[in-house]
Amino acid sequence: MYGRIDLSKTNYYLDDEIKLYKPKYEEALRVYTEYCNYKKFDSVYPLYKDNLNYDVHCFYFNNRLVAFQITELYVNDKVAFHDQFAWDYSNPKDKLGWRFYYHTCAFYKERNYSYIYLGDHEPHKSKLCGYEIMGRLN
């Protein structure tokens, strides 16, 4: 099963500290590697330079990339797909994962997108306004 957010059912606000920006690949790879290590992922797909050709929302602290969200857009259908999120967990109290969810919902809703697809269903995602569980992908 996978999940999506119906943006018409959200009322989140933009986060002024999260910016649409193309980070350097080396910066993104560092954050991605730290994220995978922190989460103790057994197997992850690599972060390719081409991934950064999509919309990339970034959070910098002291001129250092701390987190990013890669979002693939399907403009004709007005839907977005959260392809990859990562952060370095340098300050877990920041709850950057939630901040990025809220920010990107507001960002794409302002641009008249209908849905953001979030990939596989995870219980924590059901806390988001407008969250829907979809059927299995074939």
Please give the distance of CA 12 from its chain centroid, rounded to a whole number: 15
**Mean pLDDT over each residue of the chain, to the nearest integer:** 92
Q: What is the pLDDT of residue 72?
A: 94
Report, as an integer, the average pLDDT of 22-38. Answer: 94
Q: What is the pLDDT of residue 129?
A: 96
Residue 128 has pLDDT above 80, yes or no: yes
- Structural domain of residue 38, as residue ranges? 2-134
The CA-based angle 130-135-138, given to 5 degrees, is 135
Going by pLDDT thresholds of 50, 70 and 90, the confidence category of residue 138 is: low
**Separation between Cα atoms, residue 119 and residue 117, nearest integer Å:** 6
Token digits of residue 136: 């299995």
Q: What is the pLDDT of residue 136?
A: 62
- Give the count of domains, the chain: 1
Q: What is the pLDDT of residue 44?
A: 76
**Separation between Cα atoms, residue 118 and residue 98, nearest integer Å:** 13
Query: Mind listing the pLDDT tens digit for each residue in 88-118?
Result: 998 888 889 999 999 999 999 999 999 999 9
Q: What is the pLDDT of residue 2?
A: 87
What CATH number should be reported for the domain holding residue 12?
3.40.630.30
Q: What is the pLDDT of residue 131?
A: 96
Query: Mind listing the pLDDT tens digit for each residue in 64-76?
Result: 999 999 999 998 8
